[in-house]
Amino acid sequence: MMAGLTMGLLSLDKLNLQILEMQGSPAEKARAEKLLPIIKQHHLLLVTLLLFNAAANEALPIFLNRLVSEGQAIIISVTCVLLFGEILPSAVFTGKQQLSIAASLVPFVRLIMLLAFPLAYPIAKILDKCLGEDHDVTRYKRKELKALVALQNNSPPFKASSMSKIQSVHNYGTVGSPIELILPSLKSASSSEDSTHEPVVISSPRAAQPFTPLYSVSGTNLHNDEVAIIHGALDMSTKTVEMVMTPFDKVYMLNHDILLDFDTMTDILASGYSRIPVYKTHRANIVGILMVKRLIVLSPEDPKPLKDLMLRRPILVTPDHPCYSILNVFQEGRSHIALVTPQKDLVQQCWVDGTDIDPELVTISGVVTIEDILEEIIMEEIEDESDLSGNNFGLSSEEHTSELRQRGILRAVFKFKEYGERARQRRLAAAAKSNVEVDPSAFNSSDTEATPLLVA
């Protein structure tokens, strides 16, 4: 019994017991709660069990020597110790029912710990003093935890490169599938009300792509995506903004003197960006961020200079800024784009003073967005229809640019209709609140189709 308890109890891991106490079944939680208090007293438990085990092993030959001859006592003693002190305890107390057996014997263990306390406690304290109390839970290192997660993968060796790419699905079509929608001509929409609107068919030359099937994984196995996300989240603490940012020379930007006419607004929409840095005179002199959805209220027939719009100041971070830290800043809602520069304070001071940023004193390294951070966490590229490469579909550069413009215009029309419907609902609600009788048809959302292109 003592030998079995020694092997069964001392082989239990405190970390595993704490995991069971937090996330196990009700029965496992109850067993873990019983075992943890005595397992934490490692040296006291060890000394108690060894004292009783040694006493039993020494008492057996002496007891048998009074009943049988000396030779028979040795044979019987060795057989009993080997069978009942080693083989059976090892099989029973370390088997599948180890946790339940150990939990059921907790009252007995507490009793013998109480009986042996006067002798066992001083020895246990000496061990604690010399070897440490051994109360700390053995925790996994970061690399060990990643390896443990990878071992739970339900498929052959995990490779991040084998992960399928994520694609956006919108209410106006699925990425990779042909789009054929009849829309009012945007050019004719800006003409007089009496003009007839010729339908325009916007069709994508892309070949249809099958959906990536979704899998449900249960039990102890983890799917590739789960492993990738856990690995990405663990690696994020070692990454800085400089590792995930978009280099400044590849950033799409606008001059604040540009006029927001039809072609300019179409180009902005075709770029696929929702936030665009705006510069004055030279690219390093960034004056703010254009929120593209604010262009919804503008008409291309009455072009206004971009500098007349309200721009938002981007967040400023240094290249060595931790990725998790900037993610927390993004979550505050102040902005979802940050400007990366080593001269953060100097740029901020220029904005406060209203002076231009000197490119000889300030170096803009790039920009980082919340999408960049999320891509690092999930270890995949998040692609939408404007990110997909035309070369993958056999398109020339000119065809790809034209196709992007068409898809951008298509996206604008649907978003415009959505915003128009919201505005209609607000006007109806305001009229109802003021007890004014109105004809709902006067605010028909179909009127938005005859409105010049508004960019969302």
189: pLDDT strictly greater than 60: no
> What pLDDT was estimated at residue 440?
52
Summarised one tens digit per residue, pLDDT across range 300-325 is 788 888 888 888 989 999 999 999 99
> What pLDDT was estimated at residue 53?
82
455: pLDDT strictly greater than 90: no
Amino acid at 267: D
Which one is predicted more confidently, 446 or 64?
64
Distance CA 169, CA 212 (A): 12
Query: 4 falls in which pLDDT band (50, 70, 90)?
Result: confident
Which one is predicted more confidently, 22 or 71?
22
Percent over 70 (pLDDT), the chain: 71
Q: Give Dmax over CA atoms of the chain in angstroms.
A: 124
Amino acid at 445: S
Which one is predicted more confidently, 443 or 187?
443
200: pLDDT strictly greater than 70: no
Decide if 181 contacts 410 (C-beta within 8 A).
yes
Summarised one tens digit per residue, pLDDT across range 380-409 is 887 665 554 444 444 455 665 566 566 666
Percent over 90 (pLDDT), the chain: 18
Cα distance between the two ends of the chain: 76
Distance CA 411, CA 455 (A): 9
> What pLDDT was estimated at residue 368?
94
Residue 449: CA count within 13 A, CB half-sphere: 12
Summarised one tens digit per residue, pLDDT across range 201-222 is 333 333 344 444 545 555 567 8
Cα dihedral: 296, 297, 302, 303 (round 10): -50
Query: 245 falls in which pLDDT band (50, 70, 90)?
Result: very high
Give 3-state DSSP helix, strand, coil % of the chain, rounded to 5. Answer: 55, 10, 35
Of the candidates 211, 210, 189, the one whose C-alpha atom is nearest the C-alpha of residue 199 is: 189
Exposed e or buried b per residue across 406-419, where buried means at least 16 C-beta atoms within 10 angstroms of its C-beta: bbbbbbbbbbbbeb
> What pLDDT was estimated at residue 333?
79
Query: 426 falls in which pLDDT band (50, 70, 90)?
Result: confident
424 token code pair: 């209609």
Rounded to 10°, the helix 26-40/14-23 angle is 150
Summarised one tens digit per residue, pLDDT across range 111-133 is 989 998 999 999 998 988 888 77
> What pLDDT was estimated at residue 300?
79
Question: Among the listed ranges 136-140, 241-245, 247-251, 281-285, which one has the minimum average pLDDT value?
Answer: 136-140
Q: Which of 40-49, 161-170, 442-451 has the highest mean pLDDT?
A: 40-49
> What pLDDT was estimated at residue 136?
57
Of the candidates 89, 60, 120, the one whose C-alpha atom is nearest the C-alpha of residue 1 is: 89
Which one is predicted more confidently, 222 or 154?
222
Task: List phi, psi (to 5°) of 223.
Answer: -80, 160
Domain 160-392 has CATH 3.40.50.620: no
CA angle 118, 123, 129 (to 5 degrees): 130
> What pLDDT was estimated at residue 206?
39
When the pLDDT of each residue in the chain is averaged and rounded to a whole number, the result is: 75
> What are the residue ranges of CATH 3.10.580.10 in the chain?
160-392
Which one is predicted more confidently, 85 or 442?
85
Distance CA 96, CA 245 (A): 51
Amino acid at 263: D
Exposed e or buried b per residue across 429-444, where buried means at least 16 C-beta atoms within 10 angstroms of its C-beta: eebeeeeeeeeeeebe
- How distant, in Å, are the alpha carbons of 85, 141, 145, 227, 396 from that of 148? 35, 10, 5, 10, 46
43: pLDDT strictly greater than 60: yes
